[in-house]
Amino acid sequence: MALYHFHVTQVSRGKGQSCVAADAYITGTRLRDDYYGKFHDYTKKEGVLFTELLLPDYAPERLKDREVLFNELEKFEKHPKAQLCYNFNFALQNELTYEENLEITQRFIKENFLSKGMIVDYAVHDPERNGGIQNPHVHMLIPIRPLNKDGTWGEKQKREYLLDENGERIKKPNGKYAFNAVPTTDWGAPETLDAWRKAYADIFNKAFEEKGLDCRIDHRSYSAQGLELLPTIHEGPQVRAMEAKGIKTEIGDENRRIKAVNEMLKKLSSNLLNIFEWLSDFIKECHKQKIYVPSLGELVTDYYDKRYSNAWSNKAKVKNVKERASVIFFLTQNNINTFDELKDFVQTSYRKVNELQDDITEIDKEISKIKDAFRYRQMLAETKPIYDKQFSFRLKKNQQKYADEHRAELDKYHLAKRMLDQYWCCSKPDWKALKVTLSNLEDSRNKKHELYKRCKLTASESFRIRKIAEEMIKRDDVTTPSHQATRKRKHDIER
């Protein structure tokens, strides 16, 4: 199935990241990091199928070496929290061959990034190519700082000083002039990102069309597409590989739950909207043609009386009685007597479904944050002994050797510590209270299912009433007021 995945993050020194390390990882190479004084070796990384460094025509020859390029960038950035590079990650499509994916990738990068004067180092990955579910994707590393046409590094932003009514610069209380920092490029603008996302979808959709494939991808969010759905959690190749082998994972279970909720909400929302539109059109048409619209009680009673009299078996008669009781109970319980009241009730139910979506989305976000905190807590506990052990060596070279040998575990330790510090901020961790909060959130989410069931009943009974009305109209049993009066007088005389 065609998959849309287009994600952008920033490599930031403020997060303890290095653009040299990031490039070594995506290209599967060994690069020396002059800023931190160490090597990043990912030559044993599997699944790197293709790499290429693309530069504008005016780029100097020295920058064609990725180690020189990114070390020079690190050196040029002076701020301890400098934002260094954009890190793109987008999916390739299993419906296309490797050669087709690569050709589209190269064309996409050249048309949308290289043409803007951006430096792009990219790699094609497929870590599952030897078995399991294929996960072909592309990583791109792009310096945020632009390269001038004379081969020098440009400015990421410029100052626009604020002026008073006399055109003089405004001074702040600290004596410095007030200014706005204005980016020198549009690379970080939301509109530019949206254009890239659309271009990515368009270029692959065109390839699908040319191959006669029905699948398509859409760059818009579910909300922008008009679908009130919950986003699933990114699984990653390890989780997908385990799921493919029949090993259930916590993330996989959560995604299955989210997908089930999505399907329920999508179907229910569609059904309610369908009913609401039909009711609106039905009422308008009745008023337009001056057709008498009976009460829903009259309509249901007449319909099931005729069905009962025409039923051939006891089983059919019993089913008929049960259906009528169900519809009458639904109308009575919700105090619905007319089509207008039913239309209003359906519209209210439709709004409740949308509110239900919003509530579940917020609850799931909180649950995800808390579960991540517990996951990082476990990660920290598992890696802290390794972190502590490096300081048991007296000589610095032995400490460095140990650190290099356990780089993956130490990276996990620092990641877990950073994420937990960010989660708890300045407060003291209270894991017991957090566990209670998680339990309450999960209970709240489960209770939302009751609202779903009520809205589902509304759709079900409304569809049944729609069917009744349509059948009665076909038999001309929904008549004009004068015809109804005539029927009533005739009935009184006969009685």
CA nearest to 386, candidates 353, 414, 367, 358:
414
> Which tokens hold the place of 448?
């939302």
The pLDDT of residue 29 is: 92
pTM assigned to the model: 0.47
CA nearest to 203, candidates 329, 318, 107, 308:
107
The pLDDT of residue 23 is: 93
The pLDDT of residue 126 is: 82
The pLDDT of residue 112 is: 93
Contacting residues for 78 by C-beta, under 8 A, at least 6 apart = none
The pLDDT of residue 481 is: 36
Q: Which residues of the chain have pLDDT under 70?
A: 1-2, 128-134, 219-267, 291-294, 311-312, 473-495
CA nearest to 229, candidates 364, 345, 346, 347:
364
Q: Which residues pair with 86 in a beta bridge?
A: 10, 142
Start-to-end C-alpha separation, the chain: 67
Query: What's the whole-number average pLDDT of the chain?
Result: 79
CATH classification (class only), 6-150+189-210: alpha beta
The pLDDT of residue 55 is: 93
How far apart (Å, rounded) are the C-alpha atoms in residues 394 and 317?
91
How far apart (Å, rounded) are the C-alpha atoms in residues 395 and 121?
38
The pLDDT of residue 475 is: 61
CA nearest to 24, candidates 147, 121, 120, 144:
121
Q: Which residues pair with 52 in a beta bridge?
A: 122
CA nearest to 138, candidates 11, 8, 253:
8
CA nearest to 401, candidates 412, 392, 390, 411:
390
Contact 143, 256 (CB under 8 A): no
CA nearest to 156, candidates 215, 103, 92, 78:
78
How far apart (Å, rounded) are the C-alpha atoms in residues 40 and 142?
19
The pLDDT of residue 200 is: 92
The pLDDT of residue 146 is: 92
Question: Where does CATH 3.30.930.30 sit in the chain?
Answer: 6-150+189-210
How far apart (Å, rounded) are the C-alpha atoms in residues 14 and 18?
10
Tens-digit pLDDT profile for residues 334-355: 888 888 888 888 888 777 777 7
Tens-digit pLDDT profile for residues 379-420: 899 999 999 998 899 888 898 899 889 888 888 888 888 888
Q: How many residues does the chain have?
A: 495
Contact 54, 112 (CB under 8 A): no
